[in-house]
Amino acid sequence: MTNKKSKSWNKATSHFQKTLGACLLSSALVGGASEAFAQNFDVEVKSYHVAGQVWVLTGVGGNVTVQIGDEGVLVVDTQYAEMAPKLLAEIERLAPGKIIRYVINTHAHGDHTGGNQIIRDAGETIVAGNEARDVNETFEPGAEVIAHENVMLSMATASNPEIPFDMWPTEVYLGDQYDLYFNDEPIELLYQGRAHTNGDTMVFFRKSDVISTGDIYVTGGYPFIDESNFGHINGIVDGLNQIIRITVPREQQEGGTIVISSHGRLSDEADVVDYRDMITIIRDRVQYMIDQGMSLNEVLAAQPSRDYDGRYGNGFISPEQFITSVYNTLSE
Ligand SMILES: [Zn+2]
């Protein structure tokens, strides 16, 4: 058993280093892994109004969610350091003169946190003030960067390369939820347990009626289960069900609560239901095969995702990678 465990750990680690370094780290820093994933940062940042006070910015890396209101700007995820100046320019265009108060990281990967330092340094933290924030209000340079504690642990213990202290969160939370009230809107940070990583947060803007999912939900392919950061297929399924619980469709099962996927297009509940069904069906097939005593190679040969590969098999994660992670995490 010990032998089997350490083998699958090594496999997960080397798989991670080989293929996913660019997801975790700025491509300039990943050395040998960078050639296959060399990023072209000569891409414009574009913004789209989502609903209420919420916008989404695209570029290179995870979609960036921005909430803008009278009290300032809140930013969810920061793409790469190379993209951060362009993100800042677009935020300034959307919210002239407004100050970035909060940055939230949905998880630790470098395509979501690489711009942390630059975005944070452009902002200011509110350090005192009464409820109305109009008495004794003072500010410290640098926005507050909030994430689940496991994001901090992942960044603090990264060794190849090390993640500079200035990129780490400045505020971490424990437990299932962290609440903010900002720009006259309740904002729920919802921890997802072991899912894409063990530090995933989804951000629900209750008044704007928008949820930003992080890498739990990607529209263009199979999800990446980062085994080296303790991801698990069951947490992905739970996270998708959590999105479905929160979203309320408007008419004919369309519209209503808008879902910002971390890679891909905007969605509504029906899109997430389709995706959840697909993931759940594949997970259950693999579980059945494990129960039949099939080895990983036998499961891969049986192609339990074949009927979905046409639509989802050409994303960042190949069918083999996805099935392998499903198998490994269900076999723990
Ligand atoms: Zn990620």
Where do the structural domains in the chain lie, given as residue ranges? Answer: 2-330
For residue 134, how far is its CA from the centre of ligand 1 (angstroms)?
38
For residue 310, how far is its CA from the centre of ligand 1 (angstroms)?
23
Return the closest-CA partner of residue 235 out of 271, 190, 269.
190
For residue 248, how far is its CA from the centre of ligand 1 (angstroms)?
26
Q: State the pLDDT confidence band at 128, using cuts at 50, 70 and 90.
A: low
Q: Which residue has the higher pLDDT, 9 or 73?
A: 73
Is residue 106 within 8 Å of residue 122, measured between CB atoms?
Answer: no
For residue 99, how far is its CA from the centre of ligand 1 (angstroms)?
27
Angle at 204 between CA 198 and CA 205, to 5 degrees: 150
Measured distance CA(267)–CA(29) in Å, rounded: 33
For residue 245, how far is its CA from the centre of ligand 1 (angstroms)?
23
Tell me the pLDDT tens digit for each residue of 261-276.
Answer: 999 999 999 999 999 9
Measured distance CA(64)–CA(42) in Å, rounded: 17
Name the CATH code of domain 2-330 (choices 3.40.50.300, 3.90.650.10, 2.30.30.90, 3.60.15.10).
Answer: 3.60.15.10
For residue 301, how far is its CA from the centre of ligand 1 (angstroms)?
28
Return the closest-CA partner of residue 146 out of 180, 115, 95.
180
Is residue 205 within 8 Å of residue 211, measured between CB atoms?
Answer: yes
How many CA within 13 A on the CB side of residue 232? 14
Q: Which residue has the higher pLDDT, 295 or 26?
A: 295
Is residue 170 within 8 Å of residue 120, measured between CB atoms?
Answer: yes
pLDDT at 127 (0 to 100):
79
Put simply, whether the predicted model's pTM sits higher than 0.75 gets the answer yes
DSSP 253: T
